Amino acid sequence: MGKKRIFQKSEKELIEETEKVESKAKKEVKIETSQKIKEGRIYISSSYNNTIITLTDTQGNVLTWASAGSIGFKGTKKSTPFAASKVAEAISQAVKKIGIEKVQVFVKGVGSGRESAIRSLAVRGLDIILIKDITPIPHNGCRPPKVRRV
């Protein structure tokens, strides 16, 4: 067994990586509706592996979405609170571009990016009307298997 090597990224590499993430976060949002949408919903789905944020209108039609993977995070970095805040930042830019004033936030899942995504949305200046947790909870679940006899 050889020596364990820990690679340290230089400052230049870290700056390049953050620029790449930020450039992917600023993707174009195309809205084909003629009227301006005043109210919308944001669904935050936070799992152990990724954070996905979807922006919809009040009927539930998807306007845009973003995830930690689509922004440029890979592997275990996708499940971090920092990645979730970057995804929320990208969605808040889309909200501003569309012109939505009021937002309802629905959070689903048990991942570590839940609170940081909500905080990041609030810091960006969105008018949050409602925050609701819609995580599915099993009510006694499935029937367990019968006892094994040897």
Q: How do the domains of the chain map onto residue ranges?
A: 36-133
Q: What is the block-wise mean pLDDT of the chain (150 residues), using blocks of 10 residues?
A: 69 80 67 72 96 96 95 94 95 94 96 94 95 93 90
Q: Domain 36-133 adopts which CATH fold?
A: Nucleotidyltransferase; domain 5 (3.30.420)
Q: Around 87, how many Cα atoms within 13 Å sit in the side-chain half-sphere?
A: 35
Which pLDDT belongs to residue 36? 77
Which pLDDT belongs to residue 141? 87
Which pLDDT belongs to residue 32? 55
d(CA 82, CA 33): 33
pTM for the predicted model, two decimal places: 0.77
What six digits make up the tokens of 125?
Answer: 């200046």
58 touches 39 (CB < 8 A): yes
